[in-house]
DNA sequence: ACCCCTGTTCGGCG
DNA sequence: CCGCCGAACAGGGG
């Protein structure tokens, strides 16, 4: 389900619990979401600690606890974080529950494509350090984008936009939105893009991410009505600019929608 | 019943 | 090395 902006919204769902102690931890040990993570260590370390703060990079969330404890959550396709009452009883898909005196912080994921990571230590976890600059940051500039595209000249631009090491947090619908705004055909190879097209992709990426954070990221409210996202899942989806029927195909392994008139 | 899915990783192939 | 493909994870929704 979630891309960058939705992840940002889910990250904040646990904000009420900041400053409060974890009094109990419930874990569905052995589930796929805990692959590579020792759930017993997670449990033993988090009980008695306080949730301090959280941050997000791309689609990855990091929750920091007192005593040098770090919890990483990736929502995958169907994961979500939410808050429940302190007497919450975890259901089949509620794989991690952090109980506080006044609430329960819950991670739920029916399909289990998400990922829960844990690290104890003074230093930031290794899986957190290596990350590309956020699209909204100043470090994400035209030069960074150009250099990344230059490393994937033969790949369709749609596939390149989905690569998290170049465009952290961009997922399927945001990639389509960016290319529609930039008026670039998703199947076009990165190496075939001229300077003007690269600049338009850069600007569209900044715009789409910023506006998504202001709507979905802040209130989970809809992006502007004029965006492609409202059309791309419709069977009879049309271009918001002039109502030309959208086309669909699999590009970069993912369903892709575009306007054959705007995007060349 | 059938088909599709806002994610990521991995092995195999060309 | 590059990039693509299918599989894997295990359901849920239309």
pLDDT tens readout for residues A21-52: 999 999 999 888 998 899 999 999 999 999 99
> In whole angstroms, what separates CA A201 from the centre of its chain?
19
Residues A218 and A9 sit within 8 Å (Cβ to Cβ): yes
Please provide the DSSP assignment of A6-48 as one string: HHHHHHHTTGGGTT-B--EEEE-TT-GGGTT--HHHHHHHHTT
User: If we measure between CA atoms, which residue out of A198, A58, A73, A54 comes closest to residue A135?
Assistant: A58
Residues β-bridged to residue A108: A80, A94
Task: Examine the pLDDT at A233 and tell me if it is beyond 80.
Answer: no
3-state secondary structure (DSSP) of residue A199: helix
Å between A163 CA and B12 C1'?
21
Residue A35 Cβ under 7 A from any strand C atom: no
A113 CA: nearest nucleotide by C1': C9
Closest alpha carbon to C1' of B6, residue: A1
Residues A72 and A116 sit within 8 Å (Cβ to Cβ): yes
Domain parsing of chain A, residue ranges = 4-129, 142-258
User: If we measure between CA atoms, which residue out of A147, A228, A249, A232 comes closest to residue A190?
Assistant: A147
Residue A164 Cβ under 7 A from any strand B atom: yes
How is domain A142-258 classified at the architecture level of CATH? Orthogonal Bundle (1.10)
How much is the pLDDT for A131?
Answer: 76
Round to whole Å and give the CA distance between A160 and A170. Answer: 10
Residue A1 Cβ under 7 A from any strand B atom: yes
Task: Work out the average pLDDT over A191-216.
Answer: 94
The Cα-based distances of A113 to A30, A73, A109, A163, A246 in angstroms read 14, 11, 7, 18, 30
Q: Which residue has the higher pLDDT, A192 or A127?
A: A192
Task: Examine the pLDDT at A231 and tell me if it is beyond 90.
Answer: no
pLDDT band, very low/low/confident/very high, at A58 (cuts 50, 70, 90): very high
Q: What is the CATH number of domain A4-129?
A: 3.20.190.10
Round to whole Å and give the CA distance between A174 and A112. Answer: 23
Residue A187 Cβ under 7 A from any strand C atom: no
How much is the pLDDT for A93?
Answer: 92
3-state secondary structure (DSSP) of residue A219: helix
Round to whole Å and give the CA distance between A22 and A124. Answer: 21
pLDDT tens readout for residues A132-154: 899 999 999 999 999 999 989 98
Task: Examine the pLDDT at A159 and tell me if it is beyond 60.
Answer: yes
How much is the pLDDT for A1?
Answer: 55
Task: Work out the average pLDDT over A223-249.
Answer: 88
Residues A126 and A134 sit within 8 Å (Cβ to Cβ): no
Round to whole Å and give the CA distance between A140 and A202. Answer: 9
Query: What pTM does this model have?
Result: 0.95
Question: Is residue A217 exposed (0-12), middle (13-18) or buried (19+ Cβ within 10 Å)?
Answer: buried
pLDDT tens readout for residues A67-101: 999 999 999 989 999 999 999 999 999 999 999 99
């Amino acid at each position: 389900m979630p891309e960058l902006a939705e992840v940002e919204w889910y990250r904040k769902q646990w904000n009420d619990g900041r400053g409060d102690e974890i009094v109990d931890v419930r874990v569905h040990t052995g589930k796929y979401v805990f692959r590579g993570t020792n759930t017993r260590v997670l449990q033993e370390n988090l009980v008695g600690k306080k949730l301090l703060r959280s941050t997000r990079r791309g689609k990855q969330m990091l929750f920091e606890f007192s005593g040098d404890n770090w919890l990483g959550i990736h929502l995958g396709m169907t994961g979500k974080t939410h808050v429940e009452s302190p007497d919450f009883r975890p259901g089949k898909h509620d794989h991690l529950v952090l109980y506080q005196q006044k609430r329960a912080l819950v991670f739920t994921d029916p399909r289990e494509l998400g990922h829960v990571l844990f690290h104890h230590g003074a230093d930031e976890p290794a899986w957190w350090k290596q990350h590309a600059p956020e699209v909204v940051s100043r470090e994400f500039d035209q030069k960074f984008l150009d250099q990344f595209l230059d490393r994937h000249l033969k790949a369709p631009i749609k596939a390149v936009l989905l690569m998290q090491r170049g465009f952290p947090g961009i997922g399927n619908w945001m990639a389509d939105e960016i290319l529609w705004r930039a008026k670039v055909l998703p199947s076009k190879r990165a190496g075939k893009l001229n300077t003007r097209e690269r600049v338009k992709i850069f600007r569209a990426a900044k715009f789409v991410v910023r506006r998504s954070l202001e709507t979905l990221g802040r209130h989970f409210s809809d992006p502007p009505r004029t965006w492609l996202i409202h059309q791309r899942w419709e069977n009879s989806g049309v271009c918001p600019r002039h109502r030309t029927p959208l086309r669909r195909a699999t590009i970069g392994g993912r369903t892709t929608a575009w306007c054959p008139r705007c995007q060349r």
